[in-house]
Structure 1
Amino acid sequence: MENVMYFDQAASSWPKPPAVMTAMMACMEEYAANPGRGSHQMAVKASRALFETRKNLARLFGVKNPNDISFALNTTHALNQAIKGFVKPGDHVICTNIEHNSVRRPLEHLKATSQVELTYIHNDEYGDISLDELKRAFKSNTALVVVNHSSNLLGTIMPVGEIGELCRTHGAKLLVDAAQSAGILPIHVGSMNIDMLAFPGHKGLLGPQGTGGLYIHPDIDLDPLLHGGTGSQSEAIQQPTVRPDRYEAGTQNTVGIAGLNEGVKFVLAETVEKIHEKEWRQTQLLMEGLLGIQGVTVLGPQLGQNKTGIVSFNIDDADSSEVAFILDQSFQIAVRSGYHCSPLAHEAAGTLARGAVRASIGYFTTDHEVDVLIQAVKEIHSQYAK
């Protein structure tokens, strides 16, 4: 798809660094055996590949022990492990109004089936929350606070460090959804008071789909989401007590994780600071261009404010799906439309009736592509304005 201009980075990053594909092919050809399931040299090499990836992820997120990171299929898998493995009947959980369905649905499921209390903190139209409202929401039985680091609709960056401090004060744990921030924003689980961090491999970490993970603070023991073979403590009836095996039942995606390792290494070499600076600059260029078109509304933080590379917008009264279709078919520009699995965020932004077009920028997006998207939106708007 050489001619496609790709602005759907918030769903999956593309293209990937060439080293990602090279590592995956090398794994498939040379050592795609079961990690932790044998002592022969291919299985040992597979195990080493997984551990090296854990070490690089630990370095990126400020994690002391790489074994406190368990691999998952994606952020949704990691969030379900964290939420369903931690929250108990009678617990109270707090989250925000702009959470992805990967947070909202597991929490609502527990509310409906396990006598769990749930409080949503209000977000304004820009995605910001009031820390005072959060303070007032804590109860004696508040066990967990769940927040996204950055909204997948608005690009708003949450004050995770301050939220973590409030959790410490009130004796609650903090789970952060880093679907839109891992590899893009600086994350240090210690200094930011993060107890659990769910992250994807296929977005800002530049790895393949089917990869991701969950950091779990060493003082937290989760009930495993999956039970089965691990290659360790096989004589035991229950899941192993050792990490990461306790949370990694079944054969891991060795080929994908080998690719993820190269994506993480790329991010470490470039630095998240440089990546965010580049994406923020292009985000501002895109926002400035779109805001210069009469009838175009841009959601989320205003021009000049810090945010991730997500620019959601609408053109007059045009249907967002139709706009996305025209961008794809007439201009070879890939964006996403609709509700982006975050209906409450649309409610906060006032776009629940029609959703929004979401253009998301990645590290390999060019200034030329940003300019082409702006010009395409101008042309589409001119057709609707007639």
Structure 2
Amino acid sequence: MLYFDHAATSSPKPKGVIDAVTNALEALSANPGRSGHKLSLQAAEVVFETRKMAAELLGAPSPKHIWFYPNATYALNQAILGFPIRQGGEIVTTVFEHNSVLRPLHHLQTEKDIQVTYASGKTGSETARAVVDSISTSTDLIVINHASNVTGELIPLKDIAEKAKAVHAILLVDASQTAGIIDINLERDGIDMVACPGHKGLQGPQGTGLLAVSKDLGLIPLIHGGTGNQSELTHQPETWPERYEAGTVNTPGIAGLGAGLKALDELGGVAAIYQHEQIITSAFLSGIRELETVKVVGSVDSDTRVAVVAFQLTGVNSQEAGIILDQHYQMAVRSGLHCAPKLHEWFETSDEGLLRVSFGPYTTLEEVNQLVQAIKELVDAFKSN
């Protein structure tokens, strides 16, 4: 099977990740932060080291500013639903957002009567300008999908961060498609919160994710429960990260995430990964550009996107094309609406959906060439019918 679905989760996982998860299950089956015995302390050390590496990668002030969750969806919910927005407050976001953002925002709208503005544009740069224009002194929170999980479009953050700071709004970035691929630094980039999965660009196992915060924003914990310390309290403790991590953390998953973060260095670092994926994406875009019945949605400039490309095949249902690539060519792709309904409404692709391919650090040019050839054969087959 040739794997072209890295926007969903990375595959294969580095061997170090598999080994770290296995070791945690075999040798560290103790509860970190819940006991003072050696096994518990060793498990806690693995969790702390992963927290430390994530803080360094994302430019967080310290390891305690990294909070672990089962995935980016949980992290985004903590950031959005836990944000102390005022009644009738305003949130600015984009049509590029995933349902992990859209649905919590809808919930807030029904519960708190807040206003949500959806900025739009055909490209990331257009969308960024629309976001800046939408931000006002009434804006409390800005939620930005750093790169679309459908079109791969990158949304430049510089002007958005500057406008957010000027009006004292909080900037939350969904880095589900960029963490581990694009250099992100909370302090340097003027970002208040970054949510990301551990199982995509960070190369960790599924069931891992995190929220990185630059400072105390007064977030209300979504989950209340045991934290291993201050057990006499009737409420969540104020100390970080315990306040936002009730219950037992996923020690095997976090150990695997730590190994995934180490694997980024083994791959040459974030900059090298991004350069490799640009080369791969450019080769794919060049290969399908000559096909008249293939229409790429979004920019065809590999410099303004990550390695995610969505396209239409004229006269071919995206679901049918995905099934053919899977069953006939043994190629894993993604078709449909990709949990991003407003984007599909904006691009008028809701009825047929789109075919999406996405590449990772282990994708080769040979594999991309095989994918291009398969799409050519698919186009020719439907032409002849």
TM-score tier (shorter): over 0.9
Report the TM-score, using the length of structure 1 for normalisation.
Answer: 0.97
Q: How far apart are residue 132 of structure 1 and its match?
A: 4.8
Q: How far apart are residue 181 of structure 1 and its match?
A: 0.3
Q: What's the counterpart of residue 89 of structure 2?
A: 91
CA contact (8 A) 2:335 2:354 kept: yes
Is the partner of 1:70 in helix, strand or coil? strand
> 1-side partners of 2:202 and 2:53: how far apart?
11
- Which whole-Å deviations, capped at 9, do the CAs of 1:292-340 have from their partners, x for residues lacking one? 2221111221234321000111111200000000000000000000000
Q: Determine if the alignment matches structure 1 residue 255 to structure 2 residue 266.
A: no
Which range is displaced more, 140-149 or 182-191?
140-149
Q: Determine if the alignment matches structure 1 residue 166 to structure 2 residue 163.
A: yes
Q: What's the counterpart of residue 205 of structure 1?
A: 202
CA RMSD of aligned residues (A): 1.2
CA contact (8 A) 1:92 1:139 kept: no
One-letter amino acid of the counterpart of residue 216, structure 2:
D
> 1-side partners of 2:207 and 2:50: how far apart?
15
Q: Determine if the alignment matches structure 1 residue 377 to structure 2 residue 375.
A: yes
Q: Determine if the alignment matches structure 1 residue 35 to structure 2 residue 17.
A: no
Q: How far apart are residue 153 of structure 1 and its match?
A: 0.6
Q: Determine if the alignment matches structure 1 residue 133 to structure 2 residue 126.
A: no
Return 5+ residue gaps in structure 2 as ranges.
none
Distance 1:140 1:162, change over 3 A: closer
Q: Determine if the alignment matches structure 1 residue 221 to structure 2 residue 218.
A: yes
Which range is displaced more, 105-114 or 295-304?
295-304
CA contact (8 A) 1:320 1:354 kept: yes
> 1-side partners of 2:192 and 2:265: how far apart?
22
> 1-side partners of 2:121 and 2:73: how far apart?
22
Q: What's the counterpart of residue 12 of structure 1?
A: 9
Equivalent pairs, count: 382
Which among 124, 129, 152 is matched to residue 155 of structure 1? 152
One-letter amino acid of the counterpart of residue 88, structure 2:
G
CA contact (8 A) 2:5 2:334 kept: yes
Which among 66, 69, 87 is matched to residue 69 of structure 1? 66
Which among 342, 345, 362 is matched to residue 344 of structure 1? 342
Q: What's the counterpart of residue 323 of structure 1?
A: 321
> 2-side partners of 1:178 and 1:162: how far apart?
17
Which range is displaced more, 86-95 or 204-213?
86-95
Which among 182, 188, 193 is matched to residue 191 of structure 1? 188
Q: How far apart are residue 91 of structure 1 and its match?
A: 1.6
Which residues in structure 2 correspond to 1:272-291 (within 5 Å)?
272-291=270-289
- Which whole-Å deviations, capped at 9, do the CAs of 1:354-378 have from their partners, x for residues lacking one? 1101000000111111011001001
CA contact (8 A) 2:278 2:302 kept: no
Is the partner of 1:23 in helix, strand or coil? helix
> 2-side partners of 1:378 and 1:233: how far apart?
63
CA contact (8 A) 2:76 2:174 kept: yes
Q: What's the counterpart of residue 308 of structure 1?
A: 306
One-letter amino acid of the counterpart of residue 307, structure 1:
R
Which among 286, 289, 298 is matched to residue 296 of structure 2? 298
Q: What's the counterpart of residue 334 of structure 1?
A: 332
Q: How far apart are residue 107 of structure 1 and its match?
A: 0.4
Report the TM-score, using the length of structure 2 for normalisation.
Answer: 0.97
CA contact (8 A) 2:97 2:340 kept: yes
Q: What's the counterpart of residue 359 of structure 1?
A: 357
One-letter amino acid of the counterpart of residue 237, structure 1:
T
> 2-side partners of 1:218 and 1:131: how far apart?
24
Identity percentage of aligned residues:
43
> 2-side partners of 1:375 and 1:133: how far apart?
38
Q: How far apart are residue 19 of structure 1 and its match?
A: 0.4
Q: How far apart are residue 131 of structure 1 and its match?
A: 4.7
Is the partner of 2:113 in helix, strand or coil? coil
> 2-side partners of 1:295 and 1:129: how far apart?
26
One-letter amino acid of the counterpart of residue 297, structure 1:
K
CA contact (8 A) 1:127 1:348 kept: no
Is the partner of 2:186 in helix, strand or coil? coil
> 2-side partners of 1:188 and 1:218: how far apart?
14
Q: What's the counterpart of residue 266 of structure 1?
A: 263
> 1-side partners of 2:143 and 2:180: how far apart?
20
